[in-house]
Amino acid sequence: MVTPTSEHRRKSVTGAWLEGDDPGDRQFISIGSLTLESGDLLEDVNICYHSWGTLNSARDNAILVHHALTGWSDVPGWWPSMVGPGLPFDTDKYFVICPNVIGGCQGSTGPSSIAPDGQRYGSRFPILTIRDMVAAEVAFSDVMGIKKYRLAVGPSLGGMRSLEWAVQFPDRVGAICTIGSSAVATGDQIGTASIQIRAIKSDPHFHGGDYYDQQTGPIEGLGIARRIAHLTYRTEAEMDVRFGRELQGDDTGRYAVESYLDHQAHKLAHRFDANTYISLTEAMNSHDIGRDRGGVAAALAAITVPIVVVSIDTDRLFPPRLQAEITELVPTAQKLQTISSPFGHDGFLVEVEAVGEVIRHALTLG
């Protein structure tokens, strides 16, 4: 086990706590070294995780929750009313576990972590793919003694990882649920993401990714990236109805929507690391379930475990056609579950009652 130290808690120059400041009772575990798809060796990999409920003697009641891009391992902190007695992730029945993804900044090994040479990785942190993240989760599961999960579930980036589990490790999941996600990153997603990455790297305080010993980090670049991303998470209709052309009324001359986006940027910059944002975004860009598997159709057609696919009807980042593609091509896919929400991609965070009902159903399949 790895215990938090003062080094884990040092404040970063972007405002986020390096190695995490998420609430709750974090735990740390070492999975050893991990050979990545690139051929690089990531040494001494630590995983931060949260868990709820009790793993039964048969070790067959575990649920693996995959967080999204800027999520973290404390599920109730970002997915309210989902974990607990009688809730969709019913802790009276299940052992619910959520590891912070590798490349993260909330406790698992990532760019802000200390490398074997005693310095922070920074620009030296290797390129990650979705498959690398899943490989780390499999190693983590082995150390935890969990051979098979009742369900692997996650939204967005988490849905990508859940789908990869179904393709690569069907003997280790009873079922999966992928929410507001896709089988492959689209050109539109990659294009939007590339602008966000450019914003961070163009910040004069980025220092090529080695800003941890500087007085100021790329806060402005990270903030711009978040503003761009947040517009893709919500909907045009919500922005117009909620803010329209109203001014903020604070003598700054800002429109109300500008103030809202400034707030979102400020919140992220004070809990997240810019290098992590780049690393995880690039991993999402690399997502292609069909790579080296004969294409998307062939990879999805080979899936044998039950799959529940959830779509948000107003999602403009992961439009419903991407979820429809999965259900059409996976032989074991259930009927596409479409949730109506005015909040776009973020509907998975807001429409917890509807999402919860889908998860309850998915748990009957594993």
What is the mean predicted confidence (pLDDT) over 85-113?
Answer: 97
Q: Decide if 361 is catalytic.
A: no
How would residue 242 be classed by pLDDT, with cut points 50, 70 and 90? very high
Least confident of 266-270, 277-281, 294-298: 266-270
- Please give the Cα distance from 4 to 310 (Å, whole number): 36
Sequential DSSP letters for 117-162 = TSSB-GGGSPP--HHHHHHHHHHHHHHHT---BSEEEEETHHHHHH
pLDDT exceeds cutoff 70 at 176: yes
Query: What stretch of H or E contains 237?
Result: helix 236-242
CA atoms of 312 and 323, how far apart (whole Å): 9
pLDDT(177) > 70: yes
Active site residue 67: no
280-308 mean pLDDT = 98
For residue 243, give the DSSP letter.
Answer: T
pLDDT tens digit string along 43-72?
999 999 999 999 999 999 999 999 999 999
Give the model's pLDDT for residue 250.
86
Active site residue 315: yes
> Virtual CA dihedral for 353, 365, 181, 274, nearest 10 degrees?
80
Q: pLDDT value at position 24?
A: 53
Which residues are 32's β-sheet partners?
45
- Compute the average pLDDT of residues 271-298: 98
Which of 66, 67, 287, 345 is labelled catalytic? 345
pLDDT in tens, 27-48: 999 999 999 999 999 999 999 9
Q: What domains are defined for the chain?
A: 27-185+288-363 (3.40.50.1820), 189-284 (1.10.1740.110)
Give pTM, 2 decimals.
Answer: 0.93
User: Mean of the per-residue pLDDT values for the chain?
Assistant: 93
The catalytic position among 51, 108, 156, 286 is 156
Task: Tell me the percentage of the chain whose pLDDT exceeds 90.
Answer: 91
* Distances in whole angstroms, Cα of residue 235 to Cα of each of 71, 245, 284: 20, 16, 21
The pLDDT, as a whole number, for residue 366 is 86
How many residues comprise the chain?
366
pLDDT of residue 10: 35
Which of 21, 90, 203, 315 is labelled catalytic? 315
The three-class DSSP label of residue 74 is coil
